[in-house]
């Protein structure tokens, strides 16, 4: 029991760190709405998994990967903006998902379910979180250059299309990591809110990455401890904490 609790705690911290890192580039690339919507694509996957008595996270991950590839593919082949594509894919996914899941299952999928993770869930989660963290830290230079201008990224020898795909996959994986704790609706927020706050407070890239990770981890820790203390779901407390820090950051005056 102690081991599982410790494992869950380490997993929560890694999941929050991955969310904080991935979120920074979502915020800087101006794809916050798109990013939030991608997370909802998991819902039909959860529905299918429940239908076939599989682990919900397996279905969610499969659907997220499929949705990501679909969005990336349409984006590469057409001139439709990411926001539009994601908007369409998201609405359809949410509609299909709510048809397949129902009642309590749907609520759990949307907002996360309390309770300890099993051993294998923790192990897989840790591997996933480590993959995302390593990818963002290694690719942050390429991501910054392609953020400023895809054309100069190209002449610097960066494969921009491949980088975009890898980033979207890292994003999808991060969403899948948080589904159990936060659910489909709230995980997008743990990715976006700490990064949006960090963007206001930071003056450099490393500053933004560090602040974002710190806010995501603190919010998650607050949510987990307050949740068990007051016997409430952790997800909503995590997001309320992150949101409170964001509103407090508005007190800091922006230059100009």
Q: Which residues bind other proteins (CB under 8 A)?
A: 28, 140-142, 144-145, 147-152, 154-158, 198-200, 202-208, 254-256
Q: How far is the CB of 111 from other proteins (least distance, A)?
A: 31
Cβ-based nearer residue to other proteins, 21 or 182? 21
| Least CB distance to other proteins at residue 143 (A) | 9
CB of 15: closest distance to other proteins in angstroms? 24
In the bound state with other proteins, the residue whose beta carbon lies nearer, of 20 and 125, is 20
| Residue 84 near residue 35, CB atoms below 8 Å | no
- Half-sphere exposure in the Cβ direction for 178 (13 Å, CA): 39
Considering the complex, state which of residue 100 and residue 208 has its C-beta at the smaller distance from other proteins: 208
E strand intervals along 77-116: none
- Tracing tokens 């869930």 back to the chain, one arrives at 121
Please state the closest distance from residue 155 (CB atom) to other proteins, in A.
Answer: 4
Looking at the Cβ atoms of 146 and 189, the one nearer to other proteins is 146
Task: Compute CA distances 59 → 46, 62, 67, whole Å.
Answer: 5, 5, 12
User: Does residue 189 sit in helix, strand or coil?
Assistant: helix
Nearer to other proteins, 103 or 155 (CB): 155
35 within 8 A of 188, measured Cβ to Cβ: yes
- Do 204 and 179 touch, CB atoms closer than 8 A? no
Alpha helices of 101-159 — where are they, by DSSP H? 103-111, 119-148, 150-155
Smallest distance, other proteins to C-beta of residue 249, A: 12
> Rounded distance, CA 20 to CA 247, Å?
17
* Rounded Cα distance, 183 and 200, in Å: 27
Minimum distance, C-beta of residue 146 to other proteins, in the bound complex (Å): 10
Complex with other proteins: residue 103 or 255, whichever CB lies closer: 255
d(CA 174, CA 25): 13
């Amino acid at each position: 029991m102690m081991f599982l609790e410790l494992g869950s705690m380490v997993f929560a911290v890694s999941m929050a760190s991955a969310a904080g890192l991935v979120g920074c580039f979502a915020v800087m690339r101006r794809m916050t709405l798109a990013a939030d919507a991608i997370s909802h694509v998991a819902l039909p996957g959860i529905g299918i998994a429940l239908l076939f008595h599989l682990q919900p996270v397996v279905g969610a991950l499969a659907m997220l990967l499929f949705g990501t590839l679909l969005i990336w593919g349409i984006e590469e082949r057409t001139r439709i903006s990411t926001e539009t594509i994601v908007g369409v894919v998201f609405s359809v996914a949410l509609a299909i998902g709510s048809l397949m899941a129902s009642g309590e299952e749907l609520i759990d999928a949307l907002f996360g379910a309390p309770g300890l993770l099993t051993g294998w869930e923790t192990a897989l989660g840790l591997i996933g979180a480590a993959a995302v963290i390593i990818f963002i830290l290694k690719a942050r230079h390429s991501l910054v250059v392609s953020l400023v201008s895809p054309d100069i990224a190209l002449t610097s020898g960066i494969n921009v299309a491949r980088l975009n795909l890898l980033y979207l996959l890292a994003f999808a994986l991060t969403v899948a990591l948080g589904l159990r704790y936060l659910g489909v609706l709230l995980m997008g927020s743990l990715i976006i809110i700490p990064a949006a706050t960090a963007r206001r407070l930071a003056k450099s890239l490393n500053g933004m990455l560090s602040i974002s990770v710190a806010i995501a981890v603190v919010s998650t820790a607050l949510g987990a401890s307050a949740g068990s203390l007051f016997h409430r779901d952790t997800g909503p407390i995590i997001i309320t904490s992150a949101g409170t820090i964001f509103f407090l950051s508005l007190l800091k005056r922006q230059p100009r």
